[in-house]
Amino acid sequence: TGSTVLQAPGNPVTHTASQRVIVDFSTIPPTGHGVVPGGQRGNPLDPAFYDTQIPTFLDGRYFDLWTPASPPPQRHDDVRSTRVLHPVSSE
């Protein structure tokens, strides 16, 4: 399908991503799609959720990720650092 996220065919694969996330920062708020093959908790002893996303992961499909319109309020003393991203003009 022309995907650069999935492994290229023809070579044996011994390792792969444990989570796939695609984020479009050009939308407001940013939109994201992702999948976690080990489930939301990542606990292999949780039979209810551990392998529920594996078929989606293997098929190269994604779930829509919830994105809040604005970040939750934070207490000033909880903030250790801040990084501001500015879009680059496409001109």
- Within 8 A by CB and 6+ apart from 15, the residues are none
Could you give phi then psi for residue 21, rounded to 5 degrees? -140, 135
* pLDDT exceeds 70 at position 12: yes
Question: In the sheet where 20-24 sits, what is the strand order?
Answer: 20-24, 31-35, 63-65
Lowest mean pLDDT among 3-7, 10-14, 39-43, 61-65: 3-7
Let me know: does 41 contact 53? Beta carbons within 8 Å: no
* pLDDT exceeds 50 at position 1: no
**CA–CA separation, 24 vs 31, rounded Å?**
5
- If DSSP codes are grouped into helix, strand and coil, which group holds residue 20? strand
